[in-house]
Amino acid sequence: MKIAVLSRNANLYSTRRLIEAIRSRGHEGVVIDHLRCDLVIESEGPAIYYNGKKIDDVDAIVPRIGASVTFYGTAVVRQFEMMGVFSATYSQAIVRSRDKLRSLQILSGAGLPMPKTAFTNYSKEEKSLIDHVGGAPVIIKLLEGTQGLGVVLAETRKAAQSVIEAFHGLKARIIVQEFIKEAKASDLRIFIVDGQVVGAMKRTGADGEFRSNLHRGGSAEIVKLSRKEKSAAVKAADALGLSVAGVDLLQSSRGPLILEVNSSPGLEGIEKATDVDIAGEIVKYIEANQPKRRGVKSKLTTS
């Protein structure tokens, strides 16, 4: 099988590990920069050209689409899908997960637990937003933020109102969430492949930092999940249609709460913390599913 990893940088840890896993299992692995792909749409059928050459020999793809290029990246993934190429992550599922508000609406509709969240398009409703999530302290997030960027902890009502006013003044779209104090600046990153938990770690923020992101100096350790935590993570990935996902959970006094579901989760932190071959699990998933769908155009959904 020829499996392409859609990535802008072949030297990134996640990209390198996926290529290693693909080749170690006897397949041909290549890296394709999705931003350098040309999409041709005509009555004869969809086509993709890369560096001037038509792609017609790829059996499966593993999308590693950065948040800043979601629009074009998912267009490339969708083009591959229309060509009958199996994708480890469907384009529409990536789109769902990248919109924080949309993904939370889907998770809520599925009855999954999460921190209380409020959103408004009206800049004069700062007080109501804060009240809707139980009062200060609150977490304020940019809808387009990633890796902890654009996330603010407002410890008092006055501070929260000022931050909300500032974001609204900049025409930035935000959500306001309740602050889960008992989480103690930690969360769980649970890696899902094909409906199964394949790895989990507990991430803790650096001293004085409420965000647990490893990119911001946080630390990680292996963790044993409860049955409820495993179930919540699997259901969250399924609700968004993600076969490969990183689900972030908070441990609260009322049980696990879903914080976010990532469609292109990094492999470095989880592999080093757990010593599990996550990249290999993704390749196994492709092996188990791709032959059944080869040459069959995917059923694109719009939900």
Q: Domain boundary residue among 132, 164, 179?
A: 179
Give Cβ neighbours of residue 135 (< 8 Å, ≥ 6 apart).
157
**Within-domain flag for 68:** yes
For residues 203 and 272, state if they share a domain: yes
For residues 157 and 243, state if they share a domain: no
Q: Residue 293: what pLDDT?
A: 46
Q: Residue 217: what pLDDT?
A: 52
pTM of the model: 0.87
Question: Of 246, 244, 278, nearest to 61 (Cα)?
Answer: 244
Dihedral sign computed on CA atoms, order 22, 236, 147, 8: positive
Residue 185 main-chain phi, psi, to 5 deg? 60, 25
Q: Residue 299: what pLDDT?
A: 45
Cα–Cα distance, 153 to 138 (Å, whole number):
6
For residues 154 and 227, state if they share a domain: no
Question: Of 127, 133, 128, 195, nearest to 158 (Cα)?
Answer: 127
- Asked if residue 153 lies in contact with residue 178, where contact means CB atoms within 8 angstroms, the answer is no
Q: Domain boundary residue among 179, 205, 227?
A: 179
Q: Domain boundary residue among 129, 148, 179?
A: 179
For residues 186 and 277, state if they share a domain: yes
For residues 30 and 81, state if they share a domain: yes
Cα–Cα distance, 296 to 82 (Å, whole number):
8
Cα–Cα distance, 158 to 151 (Å, whole number):
17
CATH number at residue 39: 3.40.50.20
**Within-domain flag for 295:** no
**Within-domain flag for 301:** no
The one-letter amino acid at 128: S
3-state secondary structure at position 142: strand
The one-letter amino acid at 229: E
**Within-domain flag for 302:** no
**Within-domain flag for 288:** no
CATH number at residue 276: 3.30.470.20
Question: Of 162, 34, 24, 168, nearest to 91 (Cα)?
Answer: 34
Q: Residue 214: what pLDDT?
A: 52
For residues 199 and 156, state if they share a domain: no
CATH number at residue 144: 3.30.1490.20
Cα–Cα distance, 105 to 258 (Å, whole number):
12
> Which residue's entry shows tokens 């006094």?
253
Beta bridge mates, 258: 249
Structural domain range at position 11:
2-95
Residue-by-residue pLDDT tens, the chain, 303 positions: 999 999 999 999 999 999 999 999 999 999 999 999 999 998 888 999 999 999 999 999 999 999 889 999 999 999 999 999 999 999 999 999 998 899 999 999 999 999 999 997 766 667 888 999 999 999 998 887 565 577 889 999 999 999 888 888 888 888 899 999 888 888 999 999 999 999 999 988 766 555 555 555 567 789 999 999 999 999 999 999 999 999 999 999 999 999 999 999 999 999 999 999 999 999 999 999 865 544 444 444 444
Residue 168 main-chain phi, psi, to 5 deg? -65, -35
**Within-domain flag for 22:** yes
Cα–Cα distance, 74 to 43 (Å, whole number):
21
Number of domains in the chain: 3
179 CB-side CA count, 13 A: 21
- Residue by residue, what is the 3-state secondary structure of 2-56? EEEEECCCCCCHHHHHHHHHHHHCCCEEEEECHHHEEEECCCCCCEEEECCEECC
